[in-house]
Amino acid sequence: MDTDITDPQIVLGTMDFGTRVDPDEAFAILDSFVGGGGVWLDTANCYSFWVDPSGTGGASERVIGAWLRARPGARDAVRIATKVRQNPLVPHSWPQSAEGLSAPAVRTGVEGSLERLGVDHVDLLWAHAEDRTVPLEETVGAFGELVAKGTALRVGAANHAAWRVERARSLAREQGVEPWTALQLRHSLVQPRPLTPLAESGHRLLTDEDLDFARSEGLTTWSYSSLMWGSYVRADKPLPQTYDHPGTTRVLSVLDDVADELTATRNQIVLAWLMRRGIDPIVGVSRVEQIEEALAARRVRLDDEHLARFAEAR
pLDDT tens figures, 36-76: 999 999 999 999 999 999 999 999 999 999 999 999 999 99
Is the pTM here over 0.85, yes or no?
yes
Q: What are the angstrom distances between the C-alpha of 116 and each of 22, 59, 113, 193, 276?
A: 17, 9, 5, 40, 35
| Average confidence score pLDDT of the chain | 96
The pLDDT-based confidence of 7 (bands split at 50, 70, 90) is: confident
**Is the residue at 6 inside a domain?**
no
**Is the residue at 241 inside a domain?**
no
**Is the residue at 294 inside a domain?**
yes
**Is the residue at 63 inside a domain?**
yes
Domain that includes residue 16, residue range:
11-236+267-300
**CATH code of residue 220:** 3.20.20.100
**Is the residue at 248 inside a domain?**
no
- Which DSSP letter does residue 122 get? B
**Is the residue at 311 inside a domain?**
no
pLDDT over 90 (residue 119): yes
The pLDDT-based confidence of 199 (bands split at 50, 70, 90) is: confident
**Is the residue at 242 inside a domain?**
no
- How many domains, the chain? 1
**Is the residue at 148 inside a domain?**
yes
**Cα separation, 310 vs 222, whole angstroms:** 20
pLDDT over 90 (residue 3): no
Count of alpha carbons within 13 Å of 249, Cβ hemisphere only?
A: 3
pLDDT over 50 (residue 214): yes
Q: What are the angstrom distances between the C-alpha of 172 and each of 76, 78, 135?
A: 29, 28, 13
**Start-to-end Cα distance in the chain:** 40
